[in-house]
Each structure stands twice: as structure tokens, then as C-alpha cells.
Structure 1
Amino acid sequence: MALPLDYIPELSPNMLAFPLVKAMIANSDQFQIEAHMKNGATVLDCGVNVEGSLEAGLQFAKVCLGGLANVQLHWHDFNGLHWPSIEVMTDHPLRACMASQFAGWTIKLDNCFFAASGPARAIMHKGKLFEALGCEDLSEIAVVCLEGNSLPTDNIVHHIAEACNCRLENLYILIAPTASIVGTVQVAARALETGLFRLRRMGYDLGKIISGSGVCPVSPVARNTHSALGRTNDAIFYGSTVIYYLRDDDDVLSNLVKYVPSAAVDGFGQAYMEYERTHDNLYMMNLDLFTPAVVWMSNLNSGNSFHSGILRPDILARSFGFTYS
């Protein structure tokens, strides 16, 4: 079989993520997670029947980004709101964020629903996104990250293995509910990805983007999945800042940047749970609602930078359920 023209073995997200997964298994007590065997495949419970941890959340995010990004947890000031945040930096934004981290695969089987992402998506290499990006991974080891509330059944494990065309013993599945420590951390690490998603929906050529960095508050763990979806998305929509280093014309960027951040989207000004009261539900909302609060574009051709957007700590406070004394 001929290799894809853009295939670079050293940038295989599955092979780069695999040592991170092995470290999680070897230090499961430290990470407060559990590893299970399912028909030969390895399932890492990162919050379903265990507590999980901040450290496990960081590792989960790194795995989801295919080992192609630096992920750190630190405190950040969001216009007066001092809060723990996730910072993501990558010099491979398309491979890390779009070909790996982007949750473009839904699994509905055995009365279960999972949002699937992670390095294995580059092995599947299906859909219009990959037609545009390339970035195919030929790894025999497949690593999948699931967002869901239950461990995958035998049928689901087999379904994932077949979709990835891999042997069960080479399949590694990480799972965490949105309403968990790991879940909130790994979603906060998606701010950079959401900006790329927004740009792609606008028809922008993502191939012009060289590097990127983003910071996003880590929302408090919510009491249920519904509230967790609202809080984690509010964190990105009203609290995140991203910067893209790219090569383009200044005239293009100065106009484009105005339409990328959340302030340019209908529905801006309402927390997600407030928005839902006048719309169907959080799963059916406008996809343009998934975008960062503040966007910077730094042009490597001219040395000029352009930005747009605004942070809204007042809405974050409402969404996060803050009480003051």
C-alpha cells in the first residue's frame, strides 16, 4: 500500500500518545484511575467509577491531543476572576486539535452515547475534515478518548476496534464523564480546537496556521451531565483566549478576526443553561456557539497582530454557581 504523501511516522498521534497512556496505567493509583481489560482491549476509567484527578485530566488532554501539545494547569486572571486554567500550546495545531482532539465521532450503541475523539480518529481518517486535512495515521495501536457516563460494553469495544481496523490487544480506550474532574479539565483544553472549528466553518484555509496557544478556565465540577455541558462550554465561550500564528495578508486577518470570537455569535450574553430555556437543548444548539471568547491572530508575514472578543467573568460567575460572602 502506498503511503499518504503527508504521512510522517514521527508525528503519529497514536504512537506519541501511547507512552502517555502507559504512564497512566503504570501510575493508576497516583492518577486515581482504574485500568480494565475488555476482550483484550484496555479501558481506562478516568471518572466513571473512580474519582479521577487534576493530574489525570492533564494527561487525558495530552493523550487526546495526540502527544503533540504541551498542556499545563495554572492560575489565571480572567478580568478580575482569578481561577484555575488550562493552557495548551502546539506547533502542530491541525494534527493535534483537528485530526486528533476534535470530537467528530459519536457512538450510539447498547443504549449508550459517547462523544469520541483522540488519536484513533486519524486512523479512521473518514469525513470531509480529513479529506481537507490529510493527516492520516497508519499506527497499529489505536487510542480513543470517550466522553460518557458508563464504561463501554463488549459490543462497543468491538465496534471501536472494527472502526479503527485494529486488533483488540492494540486498542486503548480512555473514558471520563463531563461531570468529573478529568472531564472538566479535558474540555477546558479544547479552546484552541474550537477556534479552529469556527474558522473552518467560515471557510478559512487552516493550512495557513502554523502554531497556536490557548488558555481557558476549568469550570467547577457540576452535579450532573446536563449542567456540566453548560459550564464547560461557558468556560470556553466566555473565558478562553486563543492565539494563532499564521501566514496571510493583513487585510484578510484584520477583517476575519472580527467574526471568530463568541461576541460575534447570536446568543452571546447568555449562559448556556439560560440560552437553552429558549431553544431545544444543548445538543441541538448552533454549532457557532462553540468558539473562544477572545481571538488573536499573529501574522508571521508582516509581524502585525489582530484581535477581537471580550471576556465575561460575570457570566462565568453565574454559570459556575458562585456564592459570595
Structure 2
Amino acid sequence: MSEGRQDRWGGLSVNRLAAAHVAALLDQAGPLGLRVERLDDGVTLVDAGIDAPGSVTAGLAIGEICMGGLGTVRLSTRASDGWPAWLEVASAQPVLACLASQYAGWSLSASKEEAGGKKFFSLGSGPARALAGREDLFTELGYRDQADCGALVLEVDRRPPQVVIDKILRDCGLTAEQLVLILTPTTSLAGTTQVVARVLEVAMHKAHELGFALQDIVDGSASAPLPSPSPDGGIAMGRTNDAILYGGRVHLSVRGSDEAVHDLALRLPSLNSRDYGRSFADIFRDYEYDFYKIDPALFAPAEVWVSNLDSGRTWTAGSLNMALLRDLWLEESR
């Protein structure tokens, strides 16, 4: 990395900043319902919901690890808004926190033979992505971390095979003792929580896809309702997506022309998608479980507020659809 590109981000290291959060997670593993294992090669493996029970509190901590220590994830009780549990996410460095760290963009896979009889696939999220830099996104950001420690979160229901662990170590340039892998199945409390905690990241990724200049996004905050996980993987995955698509509210503070900021506000919400209005699980099924057939415009928060710091003007678009979420998530009491 050139010195100029390093200076653009003030020398911030998402892995070093996340390290204190990782240490706290390991220290509180028992109370948080986690199981920590040191593998034979020295890698630390954290089970946050496969054989260990995990917890919402663990999911909050993992959400902050995913954001590279550059964001906060909090739980609030807001039954007056139509659901009792909400996540509130904020970052003063949303580009690094969300895109260089939290975004689940690192594809990791192994064949049946490599994985011992069953194919393995996971998208890695968290700060170790910035060590590997395997995605084109890091070239666009002009960012690459060079820390001597790393944490990666895998949304899986089984431990990764050794061939995948070896690839992570090799691509990150870490020794085994320097790597922490956190496993968070979406069917678990921690897994559901850390996925819904991506509500701000979803908005950041959508803004990037729409061509808005990332360097002009200064600050971000967001909230989304936290559903109960389902033991069915497809339903659990659908609920986490629905929480953001229909219940996610995001506020971005940006710089630029009023025209560009207004355009971003109008184009950002999920209701711009032709697929808007049904549960994500049903949409995914109807597209034969092919993410690439889904309208990309759907992957966005329900409601956005965008403030232009250069002019002092704010625009809003979209709206929460709590009626749909209650229909999907809430059982009638008789």
C-alpha cells in the first residue's frame, strides 16, 4: 500500500481496533453462551450457535467485531414501533466499518473431497477480509490492513474444513495463533443478531452500487427490528433479510451537491424493487434459490434519510412496513 493511500484512512487498522472486542468476547465466552476451541494448528475457533447456545448479547459483540471496532451495535426495546426488540447501529467511519470489514464479501469454498464428503461454502465477513484483500472492492477503497492479528466471521452451521482454514491463513498472511474464526449459523440467536446488525452496511453497499461517491459519506446510523431465529435455515435467512428490507431505517450524513444527495435518497430504499412486498424466503424460493435472479434493488433498507452537510438539507424516502413483518413473524394469541 502506498503511503498516500494509507493516509487517506488515517492509518486505521480494522483488525487492531477489533482485537480488544475479540479479547472481550473470548474472556466472556461462558456467560455469552459460546464455546471456544484452540485447534491443533493454533487457530482459535468460536462456536456461537452450532453446538453452543450463543446469545443475543454475543451477537451484538460479534456485530461490533464485524465492523472492525469502528461501529456500535446496541439492543433497544421499542414495542411502540411494532416489535419489542430493535438493533441500533452507528459508525463515524461507515465506509471502513461496513465495506472494508462488515460486508460478507469473501467467498470461501471447498469441494466434497476437500471437505470430507460434503461441499462447504461460506461468505466471510469481518476485519480479516482487509488483510486478504481478495475482493476488487479493496482496490476501489484504496485500503489494505497490515495487522498481525485477524478475526473472520463465517455464517455456517458446521466448522470449516482444514483446506479453508489454510486458505484464510495464507491469504491473510497470518500464523495460526493470530487468527480467530467465529461461527454464527443464522438459525442461532447470535447469528440472527449479527446479520440484522448489517442494516447500515446494506445501505452503504447499495449507495456504492448506485455510484454515489463513497468518500462523500461521512457518518451513518441505522436501526432494524430483531426477529426470533427459526430452526429452519431458509426461514431464518428470510427473517434476517426481511428485517432490513421492510424494517430497516438508515440515516446517512454526506457531502456533495443537493442534486446527487436527493437522487441517492430517492433511489436507495427497497420499495424501488420489483420484488418488494413479499417475504424474502418466498422470493428466494420462487427464483429457485438463485440470488442472482433477485432484483438487486431489493437489497436495501426500507426507509432512508440523507442529510447533506454542505447545504444543511435533508431528504427522506421509503417507509417501514411493520404490518408485513408482524404478519410474517407474529403468531396470534388466542
TM-score by length of 1: 0.95
Question: Which secondary structure state, in structure 1, belongs to the residue aligned with residue 78 of structure 2?
Answer: strand
For residues 248-302 of structure 1, the C-alpha deviation after alignment (integer angstroms, 9 at most, x for no partner) is: 1112222331111011111111111232343221634333321100011011111
Displacement of 1:3 after TM fit? 4.4
Q: Which position in structure 1 is the counterpart of 2:264?
A: 256
Structure 1 residue 35 corresponds to structure 2 residue 36: yes
Q: Which position in structure 2 is the counterpart of 1:265?
A: 273
1:170-319 mapped onto 2 (5 Å cutoff):
170-281=178-289, 283-284=291-292, 285-319=294-328
CA distance in 2, matches of 1:133, 1:228: 32
Displacement of 1:226 after TM fit? 0.9
Q: Which position in structure 2 is the counterpart of 1:116?
A: 124
The one of 153, 172, 177 aligned to 1:169? 177
Once superposed, which parts of structure 1, at least 4 consecutive aligned residues long, lie more than 4 Å away?
1-4, 7-10
Aligned letter for 2:53?
E
Displacement of 1:9 after TM fit? 7.2
For residues 84-109 of structure 1, the C-alpha deviation after alignment (integer angstroms, 9 at most, x for no partner) is: 01111100001100000000112111
Aligned letter for 2:18?
A
Q: Which position in structure 2 is the counterpart of 1:26?
A: 27
Is the 1:230–1:282 contact (alpha carbons within 8 Å) kept by the matching residues of 2? no
Task: Name the CA shift for 1:250/1:115 in 2 (closer, same or farther; >3 Å).
Answer: same
Displacement of 1:4 after TM fit? 5.8
Is the 1:230–1:319 contact (alpha carbons within 8 Å) kept by the matching residues of 2? no
CA distance in 2, matches of 1:266, 1:83: 29
Is the 2:45–2:181 contact (alpha carbons within 8 Å) kept by the matching residues of 1? yes
Displacement of 1:25 after TM fit? 1.3
**Greater CA drift, 215-224 or 228-237:** 215-224
Q: Which position in structure 2 is the counterpart of 1:88?
A: 89
How many residues end up aligned between the 2 structures? 324
For residues 2-47 of structure 1, the C-alpha deviation after alignment (integer angstroms, 9 at most, x for no partner) is: 5463255762110111111111111211111011112111011111
Is the 2:100–2:143 contact (alpha carbons within 8 Å) kept by the matching residues of 1? yes
Question: Which secondary structure state, in structure 1, belongs to the residue aligned with residue 134 of structure 2?
Answer: coil
Displacement of 1:133 after TM fit? 0.8
CA distance in 2, matches of 1:154, 1:37: 14
TM-score by length of 2: 0.92
Is the 1:47–1:181 contact (alpha carbons within 8 Å) kept by the matching residues of 2? yes
Q: Which position in structure 2 is the counterpart of 1:5?
A: 5
1:54-73 mapped onto 2 (5 Å cutoff):
54-73=56-75
Q: Which position in structure 2 is the counterpart of 1:125?
A: 133
Task: Name the CA shift for 1:10/1:76 in 2 (closer, same or farther; >3 Å).
Answer: farther
CA distance in 1, matches of 2:120, 2:273: 32
Aligned letter for 2:260?
V
Is the 1:261–1:294 contact (alpha carbons within 8 Å) kept by the matching residues of 2? yes
Is the 2:93–2:219 contact (alpha carbons within 8 Å) kept by the matching residues of 1? yes
Task: Name the CA shift for 1:56/1:192 in 2 (closer, same or farther; >3 Å).
Answer: same
Q: Alignment identity in percent?
A: 31
Question: Which secondary structure state, in structure 2, belongs to the residue aligned with residue 6 of structure 1?
Answer: helix
The one of 46, 49, 72 aligned to 2:48? 46
CA distance in 1, matches of 2:232, 2:175: 35
CA distance in 2, matches of 1:245, 1:2: 28
Is the 2:272–2:298 contact (alpha carbons within 8 Å) kept by the matching residues of 1? no
CA root-mean-square deviation = 1.7
Task: Name the CA shift for 1:316/1:114 in 2 (closer, same or farther; >3 Å).
Answer: same
